[in-house]
Amino acid sequence: MLHLDHLVKKFGGLTATDDVTLDFPAGSLSAIIGPNGAGKTTLFNQITGHLVPTSGRIMFDGENISGLKPAAIVRKGIGRAFQVASIFPSMTVEEALATAVSAHNRTAFQLHSAFPPLNVRHQTEELLALLGMEPVARSLSGEISHGDQKLLDVGLALALNPKVLLLDEPAAGMGPEERWQMMDTVKHLWKSRNMTLIFIEHDIDLVFKTAEIIHVLRYGAVLASGKAHEIRGNPEVIKAYLGSETDTVKDAV
């Protein structure tokens, strides 16, 4: 499905992605972890076309997509949640999702029409249910909690019906309980949409409990890949994290 083949990204003298070869099979749920500056976001930015790799290939469904523009990559089916919910503060959650669904369907409809096309309405309701956002459907996007805004960001990405969804720290900035709820929702939507999902997360407890497979980056290179129990016991990973300032990782590993 998605395969990174000897990917390299250099910023001047800094190698932010160092010969990364990774496979994300169809329907898998993977996490990318690593100390600050390990190159996690740089990797996402190359997959989504926001950065052009220095060398190597990004293969998606058998096609080399490296170097394509972000919009073309979205159209191919790779979506990413951006922090955009706050851009629509005066739209309700429902309207924001309907607008995204509509844009995807290329169905023009009057935003405030009482009768948007049925398929848009159905898809919007489905998204609200999937994300557990019915209680805030009529709330203004600018007035919902930080956690709900992050969920709405995920919903806006889902509205484009991606085959692969990338989430960059979906639970960042949330309280402990909200973080777990967010990861439960992520897992639930991954299962129900049968999609390929890749997320970056700093909280190793969340990663171990959520991801099927974990890829650890350090200095831009893949340090280890495996299931939670394999990563947890990997001496190289422990060493890498003990050398970082990420306390949550120290505690958990």
Helices (H) and strands (E) in the chain, counts: 10, 10
CB 65 within 8 A of CB 73: yes
40 forms part of the interface with ligand ATP (CB under 6 A):
yes
- C-beta of 95: minimal distance to ligand ATP in Å? 32
Q: Pick between residue 40 and residue 150 the one whose CB is nearest to ligand ATP.
A: 40
Count Cα neighbours of 133 within 13 Å in the Cβ-side half-sphere.
33
Given a contact cutoff of 8 angstroms between Cβ atoms, the answer to whether 133 and 93 are in contact is yes
CB of 37 to ligand ATP, least distance (A): 4
Site track 201-240 with ligand ATP (rule: CB under 6 A), x = hit = ----------------------------------------
**C-beta closer to ligand ATP: residue 81 or 101:** 81
Please identify, among the stretches 38-46, 147-155, 185-193, 203-211, the one whose residues bind ligand ATP according to the rule CB under 6 A: 38-46
Provide the minimum distance between the beta carbon of 52 and ligand ATP in the complex, in angstroms, as a whole number: 12
**Which residue from 117, 97, 118, 119 is spatially nearest to 108, judged by alpha carbons?**
117
**Considering beta carbons, is residue 43 or 154 the nearer one to ligand ATP?**
43
- From residue 126 to residue 165, the character string flagging contacts with ligand ATP as x (rule: CB under 6 A) and all else as - is ----------------------------------------
The only residue of 38, 136, 160, 216 in contact with ligand ATP, by rule CB under 6 A: 38
Determine the Cα–Cα distance for residues 141 and 11; give it in Å rounded to an integer: 37
CA–CA gap between residue 232 and residue 252 (Å, rounded) = 8
CA–CA gap between residue 247 and residue 25 (Å, rounded):
31
Q: Which residues contact 92 (CB under 8 A, 6 or more apart)?
A: 137, 138, 139, 140, 141
Nearer to ligand ATP, 136 or 204 (CB): 204
Instruction: Give the residue, chosen from 34, 49, 79, 147, that forms a contact with ligand ATP under the rule CB under 6 A.
Output: 34
Among 36, 110, 113, 194, binds ligand ATP (CB under 6 A): 36
Question: Which residues lie below 8 Å from residue 11, measured CB to CB, with a gap of 6+?
Answer: none
By CB under 6 A, residue 82 contacts ligand ATP? no
Among 3, 8, 37, 137, binds ligand ATP (CB under 6 A): 37
Least distance to ligand ATP, CB of residue 86, Å: 20
In the numeric block, which tokens belong to residue 1? 């499905």
Taking the complex as a whole, how short is the minimal distance between the CB of residue 47 and ligand ATP, in angstroms?
A: 12
For residue 11, what are its two tokens? 């910023």
The strands making up 221-226's β-sheet, listed across from edge to edge, are: 78-80, 164-168, 196-200, 29-33, 213-218, 221-226
Residue type, 99: T
Residues that bind ligand ATP (CB under 6 A): 11, 14, 16, 34, 36-42
